[in-house]
Amino acid sequence: MADRSPHDPLAGIAFDRVPPAGAYGVTGEPGIVVSTAEEPFIALVAARNGFGASVAERLGRAFGGPGLDRPHAGFGSGSTVVGIGPGRFLVLSRAEADLPGTLRAVLGTEAAITGQSDAFVLFDLSGARVPDLLAKGAPVDLDPRVFPVGDAATTLVAHIGATLWRSGETGWRVLVARSFEASFTRFLLGAGAEYGLRLEGRG
C-alpha cells in the first residue's frame, strides 16, 4: 500500500468510504496500529428491575471479569463484558455464533437480551500514542494513570457515540455504530497522522 502525505493523510479519499489499508502520516515505525477486531458476536444485556447485581455476577462468572455493575471491561478467553449503564452490558465473543441463546441460558429471565452483532464495528487500537490520539476526540481523561486496564467509558469520540475500554497496557478498543465506520476511521487517520498510523486490512 502506498504511503500517504503526512500533510494531508486523507487527500483523495472519498469521505463516505472506509479508507484503504496502509501507512498514514509520518513515516517510520507507526505509533498507532488500527485494525477491526475479531470479536464479531455482540449482544446487549439489560437487567430487569432489581437484577443488575445478579446479572453482573453471572456474566462475570460465564464470560470473565469481576462481575460488577460498573463502567468496566472484564476479559475472558475469547469474550469481553463491558458495562455501559446501570444494569446494562455489552457482551462480545469471538466464537459464540448464537450469543443471545447462550446468554439466555446463563441469565434466564433476569435480563432482556438483544443480538447486536451487525450494529457495531469494533476498532482495536494499539501503540503507546493511542491515549494521545483519543484525547483529541474524547472528553474523558484517558491518561493511563487514571484510566487503568479494564476501565471503560461510554462517551463521544469526535462527536460520534462510542464505548471504549483499555484492553491492555498499550491496547484499546472502541465500539462504534457500524454506519460511522468511515467517519470514525477518518478521525483516526487525521488525528493519528502526527504519530504515524498503520491501518490494517479487514480480516
Comparison of 153 and 189: residue with beta carbon closer to other proteins: 153
CB of 68 to other proteins, least distance (A): 9
Pick between residue 165 and residue 195 the one whose CB is nearest to other proteins.
165
Whose Cβ is closer to other proteins: residue 71's or residue 171's? 71
Residue closer to other proteins, measured from CB, 53 or 97: 53
In the bound complex, what is the minimum distance in angstroms from residue 192's beta carbon to other proteins?
Answer: 23
Which residue ranges make up the site for other proteins (CB under 8 A)? 47, 49-53, 69-71, 84-88, 139-140, 153-156, 161
Question: Shortest Cβ distance from residue 86 to other proteins (Å)?
Answer: 5
As a three-state string, the secondary structure of the chain is: CCCCCCCCCCCCCCCCCCCCCEEECCCCCCCEEEEECCCCEEEEEEECCCCHHHHHHHHHHHHCCCCCCCCEEEEECCEEEEEEECCEEEEEECCCCCHHHHHHHHHCCCEEEEECCCCEEEEEEECCCHHHHHHCCCCCCCCCCCCCCCEEEEEEECCEEEEEEECCCCEEEEEEEHHHHHHHHHHHHHHHHHHCEEECCCC
Shortest Å distance, C-beta 92 to other proteins:
19
Least Cβ distance, residue 110 to other proteins (angstroms): 11
Q: Which is nearer to other proteins, 71 or 144 (CB)?
A: 71
